[in-house]
């Protein structure tokens, strides 16, 4: 999903200079390993990532997202994205309108 989204941003002409990528992960996990994982997935250098967001460890909870397969989440933000949002909304409204009326795309 990350690769598809980043490829879509490139297709739309949204350059990497507007991307902000950050790993969100529990503080008890291996942050460096998670960052290495996500840069391979995203196809960016490791110094492209922002500082990781760490979730504090709560010893009273039993977490299931632990171990070697846990890499946290990659958060992708796009700077100056209002125009992009409006374009996407317009496309969606165009698709929804062809499926059953002007209000079909509204939530």
Q: What is the pLDDT of residue 60?
A: 65
Question: Which pLDDT tens digit goes with each residue over 24-79?
Answer: 998 888 899 999 999 999 999 999 999 999 988 776 666 666 667 899 999 999 99
pTM: 0.74
HSE-CB of 25 using CA atoms within 13 angstroms: 23
Question: Which pLDDT tens digit goes with each residue over 3-32?
Answer: 999 999 999 999 999 999 999 998 888 899
Question: What does the domain layout of the chain look like in residue ranges?
Answer: 2-79
Give first-to-last CA distance, the chain, whole Å: 24
Q: What is the pLDDT of residue 99?
A: 76
């Amino acid at each position: 999903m990350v690769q598809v989204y980043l490829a879509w941003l490139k297709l739309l002409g949204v350059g990497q200079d507007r991307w902000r990528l950050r790993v969100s992960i529990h503080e008890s996990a291996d942050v460096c390993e998670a960052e290495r994982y996500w840069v391979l997935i995203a196809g960016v250098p490791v110094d492209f990532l922002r500082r990781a967001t760490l979730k504090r460890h709560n010893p009273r909870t039993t977490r299931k997202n632990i171990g070697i397969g846990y890499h946290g989440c990659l958060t992708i933000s796009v700077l100056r994205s209002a125009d992009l949002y409006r374009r996407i909304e317009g496309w969606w409204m165009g698709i929804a309108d062809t499926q059953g009326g002007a209000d079909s795309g509204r939530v």
